[in-house]
Amino acid sequence: MTQTLRIGIAGLGTVGIGVVKIFQDHGTSFPKKAGRDIVITAVSARDRKKDRGVCLDSYTWYDDPLAIARADTVDVVVELIGGSAGLPRELVETALQNGKHVVTANKALLAEHGFALACLAEKKNRALCYEAAVAGGIPIIKALREGFVANQISEIRGILNGTCNYILTAMRETGRSFEDILKEAQEKGYAEADPTFDIEGIDAAHKLCILNALAFGINPNFEHIGVVGISAITTDDIKAADELGYRIKLLGVARREGSRTVQRVEPCLVPISSPLGSVEGVFNAVDITGDFVGRGLLVGRGAGEGPTASAVVADLMDIARGNITPVFALPPEFLTDPEPRPHESTETSSSTAPFYVRLTVRDQPGVLASVAGVLYDSNISIGAVMQRARMPGQTVPLILTTHPACPEDLQTACRNLEGLPTVTEKPVLMRIED
Amino acid sequence: MTQTLRIGIAGLGTVGIGVVKIFQDHGTSFPKKAGRDIVITAVSARDRKKDRGVCLDSYTWYDDPLAIARADTVDVVVELIGGSAGLPRELVETALQNGKHVVTANKALLAEHGFALACLAEKKNRALCYEAAVAGGIPIIKALREGFVANQISEIRGILNGTCNYILTAMRETGRSFEDILKEAQEKGYAEADPTFDIEGIDAAHKLCILNALAFGINPNFEHIGVVGISAITTDDIKAADELGYRIKLLGVARREGSRTVQRVEPCLVPISSPLGSVEGVFNAVDITGDFVGRGLLVGRGAGEGPTASAVVADLMDIARGNITPVFALPPEFLTDPEPRPHESTETSSSTAPFYVRLTVRDQPGVLASVAGVLYDSNISIGAVMQRARMPGQTVPLILTTHPACPEDLQTACRNLEGLPTVTEKPVLMRIED
């Protein structure tokens, strides 16, 4: 049996405590699985006195997390502080500089500084692992980096944010508004006090950015992802989608289209009976298409103490077993630069797709005729139309689906629709995925 | 860059040719991913002259596959001959004895001789990889051995045989009989000329045996799995299940119940809207429950040239990267022996579950009363009842679902039902899974 692998954990929030619990519950099996001992030797967090429900007495306490990154008693630093700027980055860099392996759950850090960190890890010949950063307990990083390594990936589609999926599911199940459900989710602790990162799609975009890097060999660069959140989704949308046979999901999509890769996070309609359509509540899912393997789907809990800690410990086991793979599947010198982010007008101008359109219109005669005329002029062919009259003169939602349409044509049509006197708000557009 | 990894492929059927195609299509990217060259140097098959649609000129041809296992120009032997007895076993043993790594897609070999082969691989310090042996392109072996390694697994449930899932799906979609669909599947090449291995659940049991070994640290031993196939399923069952809100799936289930592990392959009813219920046609799926990660589901194509070859090449990449893990996640000395297979009468006597029961009864007055009486006497509480009268005096299916029942009580009841003069055939029983 080779040398003991010594772990230092910086950050003792939900995930950090989850990791401690796994070691305390299952640690005796680790030497059998890894061929060596794996032990936690050091921990660090802000408040030493806080009761965290687990015994930390056998670990050396550090008030300064950076001290863990320098400690002679630590071989692997587990960074669970979170946030991309400042301390976490300094911690990871210091750990690598000091010849330590790093395991992190920090998607923002990897999405924004992944390339520099991968170069440093490569230079120091150390592991930088992050299974916990995307889709919690789902081993999606390992699947892309190793399981599907034989394939040219053409598409990744993921439900990557559990908070959004929880809100959208609850809106459908209860018929209550976005604001209402969000407030409840905050009270229950499913959503942050400041929910912007989740509901505006930024968290999902961080994760998509990492998946995109792995799948397509592209430097992770968060700035290149088009992002639309779910805060504009109404109960009218949820109900209409349901009646049309769809669920609304915040999808992260990265797709090869010719020589370029389109990356976007946006709410989409997916068929109720499709694999992604059946992923509800806090579950996450990633649907991958490769040229040899075909389509594969991985589903599981995307967040929480147990699933995320499970992913952290899987990374630690890989390091203990000596199974170390390049950070983004390829050494950083082979990663290519991403294409610049397209402008608004062409942002969705990738392949044609059917779309869902919600217009807010004044309930008066001739509205549908004028809307249909504008769409016709832009070569948009209408699939379904749903309108429920409420009160003449009031505004009502007018919901349409289109046949596969060129996104640029649809953008043009929407600008023209917005100019109609009977259309009172900016149209809401959502792509219909199969 | 370290030394080139040299591959010898024994068996050039569908999967072998798929591996060749992946190397010819994507081989130039392998050195970037692995940090070393990976090349096919040798191939072997029965008929050298057969046109296989790919150019094999640059590989050394061996008529004798065992010569590949001894060749100085080969570092990894890919065994794609199939079958558990004789040549494939000898090939794998010879390869390991000669210090070569082995990659195989041979589930029968692993299910029946896995422990001996794992011991040999361990002794020779070589990899024995078999991602392709279970669920084709789905990286389920890697997920269990690495991704979910932090967890105590409590349950695995899998749709592990694409032929059965195709037949059951087609029976439902077309309303045609089992025999009819099987014949068509054979003509289309989806089912073997001798379909016994697939339709009687043996292939699924081989795969379950491997998953069970990985998940629970138990020596693979095929003899310990209870197996029921799908050949007794009728269109009446399919229709009734559909009306009750279920799909019939051939499930491999391995479940921790107290200190023992229950392993069985049998047709079960699963809810239409459940993750497993939505897995149709040739797709495979594995649903895993671990104590920290919760439930995870992996879905993908379970067979065919591309998916299976994708899994073989993933194993080759692991070996090239130096990422070698114990064959069954633990070194063989830590694997425990399986419990002996329970007798028929207690085979399903694990936890209580709701059941589906199809009786074939004479369509005459008093039948339901006598059936209900027998069930009542065995403490079986009836959920739903479905009977469509056809012709008085003729036999008709009488379909019941039970509330959660003790399987032993149900077995007793079925023996008593079989004794009724109005029941003309052995009752068909299927567990209802959630």
Model confidence over B297-322: pLDDT tens digits?
999 999 899 999 999 999 999 999 99
Question: Whole-angstrom Cα distance, residue B13 to residue A116?
Answer: 45
Q: How many CA atoms lie within 13 A of A390 on its CB side?
A: 10
- The pLDDT value recorded for residue B344 is 43
Contacts of A279 (CB under 8 A, 6+ apart): A159, A165, A249, A285, A299
Same domain (yes/no): A24, A122: yes
φ, ψ for residue B312, nearest 5 deg = -60, -45
**Structural tokens at position A308:** 């995320």
Measure the N-to-C terminal CA separation of chain A; round to a whole number of Å.
51
Residue A193's SS3 state is coil
Same domain (yes/no): B147, B296: yes
Tell me whether residues B296 and A298 touch, CB distance under 8 A: yes
DSSP A132-165: GGSSTTS-HHHIIIIITTTS-EEEEEEE--HHHH
Same domain (yes/no): A118, A30: yes
Label each residue of chain B as H, E or C: CCCCEEEEEECCCHHHHHHHHHHHHHHHHHHHHHCCCEEEEEEECCCCCCCCCCCCCCCEEECCHHHHHHCCCCCEEEECCCCCCCHHHHHHHHHHHCCCEEEECCHHHHHHHHHHHHHHHHHHCCCEECHHHCCCCCCHHHHHHHHCCCCCEEEEEEECCHHHHHHHHHHHHHCCCHHHHHHHHHHHCCCCCCCHHHHCCHHHHHHHHHHHHHHHCECCCHHHCEECCCCCCCHHHHHHHHHHCEEEEEEEEEEEECCEEEEEEEEEEEECCCCCCCCCCCEEEEEEEECCCEEEEEEEECCCHHHHHHHHHHHHHHHHHCCCCCCECECHHHCECCCCCCCHHHHCCCCCECEEEEEEEECCCCHHHHHHHHHHHCCCCEEEEEECCCCCCCEEEEEEEECCECHHHHHHHHHHHHCCCCECCCCEEEEECC
Tens digits of residue pLDDT in A362-376: 988 889 999 999 999
Closest chain A CA to residue B293: A307
**Chain B residues in contact with A146 (beta carbon < 8 A):** 139, 142, 314, 317-318, 323
Phi-psi region of A226 (alpha: psi -120 to 50; beta: other; left: phi over 0): beta
What is the helix, strand, coil percentage profile of chain A, to 5? 40, 25, 35
Tell me whether residues A296 and B293 touch, CB distance under 8 A: no
**A246 part of a folded domain:** yes
Does residue A346 carry a pLDDT above 60? Answer: no
Same domain (yes/no): A144, A125: no
- The pLDDT value recorded for residue A167 is 97
Same domain (yes/no): B188, B111: no
Contacts of B280 (CB under 8 A, 6+ apart): B165, B169, B247
Tell me whether residues B307 and A317 touch, CB distance under 8 A: no
Place of tokens 């080139």: B4
Query: For the residues A297-326, what does the mean pLDDT come to?
Result: 96
Does residue B77 carry a pLDDT above 90? Answer: yes
CA distance A304 to chain B (A): 9
pLDDT interval class at A275 (50, 70, 90): confident
Report which of A83, A79, A119, A80 is spatially closest to residue A95, judged by C-alpha positions.
Answer: A79
**Structural tokens at position A110:** 């990897």
CB atoms within 10 A of CB A228: 19
**Chain A residues in contact with B146 (beta carbon < 8 A):** 139, 142, 314, 317-318, 323
Q: Is A207 one of the catalytic residues?
A: yes
Query: For the residues A217-239, what does the mean pLDDT come to?
Result: 93
CB atoms within 10 A of CB B71: 20
CB atoms within 10 A of CB B126: 22
DSSP state for residue A333 in the 8-state scheme? G
pLDDT interval class at A57 (50, 70, 90): very high
Assign residue A238 the CATH number of its domain: 3.30.360.10
Tell me whether residues A149 and B313 touch, CB distance under 8 A: yes
- The pLDDT value recorded for residue A364 is 87
- The pLDDT value recorded for residue B346 is 42
DSSP-derived pairing of the beta strands A395-402 and A355-362:
antiparallel
CA-based radius of gyration for chain A: 24
Same domain (yes/no): B259, B398: no
Does residue A344 carry a pLDDT above 80? Answer: no
More confident residue, B250 or A189: B250
Residue A386's SS3 state is strand
**B289 part of a folded domain:** yes
Query: For the residues A109-117, what does the mean pLDDT come to?
Result: 96
**A345 part of a folded domain:** no
Tell me whether residues B329 and A33 touch, CB distance under 8 A: yes
Is the alpha carbon torsion for A54, A161, A299, A8 positive or negative?
negative
**B316 part of a folded domain:** no
Residue A431's SS3 state is strand
Question: Whole-angstrom Cα distance, residue A86 to residue A67?
Answer: 15
Same domain (yes/no): B128, B146: no
Same domain (yes/no): A115, A153: no
pTM of the model: 0.94
Same domain (yes/no): B385, B247: no
Residues of A (169-198) whose Cβ lies below 8 Å from B: none
Same domain (yes/no): B271, B196: yes
Of A138-142, A267-271, A274-278, minimum mean pLDDT range:
A274-278
Closest by Cβ to B142, choosing from A146, A297, A306 = A146
pLDDT interval class at B259 (50, 70, 90): confident
Assign residue B370 the CATH number of its domain: 3.30.70.260
pLDDT interval class at A273 (50, 70, 90): confident
pLDDT interval class at A1 (50, 70, 90): very low
Report which of A326, A295, A279, A304 is spatially closest to residue A141, judged by C-alpha positions.
Answer: A326
**B255 part of a folded domain:** yes
Closest chain A CA to residue B139: A147
Range of the domain at A380: 355-432
Question: Whole-angstrom Cα distance, residue A214 to residue A114?
Answer: 11
Is the alpha carbon torsion for B302, B304, B306, B310 positive or negative?
positive
Closest chain A CA to residue B132: A147
The ipTM is: 0.93
Closest chain B CA to residue A146: B314
Name the catalytic one among B123, B207, B239, B249.
B207
When the pLDDT of each residue in chain B is averaged and rounded to a whole number, the result is 93
Same domain (yes/no): B81, B197: no
Report which of A216, A169, A428 is spatially closest to residue A328, judged by C-alpha positions.
Answer: A216
Assign residue B87 the CATH number of its domain: 3.40.50.720
Does residue A345 carry a pLDDT above 80? Answer: no
Question: Whole-angstrom Cα distance, residue B38 to residue B3?
Answer: 9
Strands (E), A310-426: 355-362, 382-387, 395-402
Q: Indicate the number of domains in chain A.
A: 3
Final residue of a structural domain among B106, B133, B160: B133
Tens digits of residue pLDDT in A146-205: 999 999 999 999 999 999 999 999 999 999 999 999 999 899 887 888 999 999 999 999
- The pLDDT value recorded for residue A350 is 63
Given a contact cutoff of 8 angstroms between Cβ atoms, the answer to whether B263 and B226 are in contact is: yes
**A349 part of a folded domain:** no
Question: Whole-angstrom Cα distance, residue B96 to residue B99?
Answer: 5
Name the catalytic one among A124, A207, A239, A249.
A207
- The pLDDT value recorded for residue A341 is 55
Final residue of a structural domain among A133, A164, A195: A133
Final residue of a structural domain among B92, B118, B133: B133
CA distance B387 to chain A (A): 29
**Structural tokens at position B92:** 């794998």
Same domain (yes/no): B282, B192: yes
The verdict on A137 touching B (C-beta cutoff 8 Å) is yes
Q: How many CA atoms lie within 13 A of B337 on its CB side?
A: 3
**Residue A422 one-letter amino acid:** T
Does residue B148 carry a pLDDT above 70? Answer: yes
Given a contact cutoff of 8 angstroms between Cβ atoms, the answer to whether B148 and B297 are in contact is: no
- The pLDDT value recorded for residue A337 is 86
**Chain A residues in contact with B307 (beta carbon < 8 A):** 292-294
Tens digits of residue pLDDT in B159-193: 999 999 999 999 999 999 999 999 998 998 878 88
Residue A255's SS3 state is strand
DSSP A349-369: -SS-B-EEEEEEEE--TTHHH
Place of tokens 């799926």: B285
Is the alpha carbon torsion for A132, A136, A137, A141 positive or negative?
negative
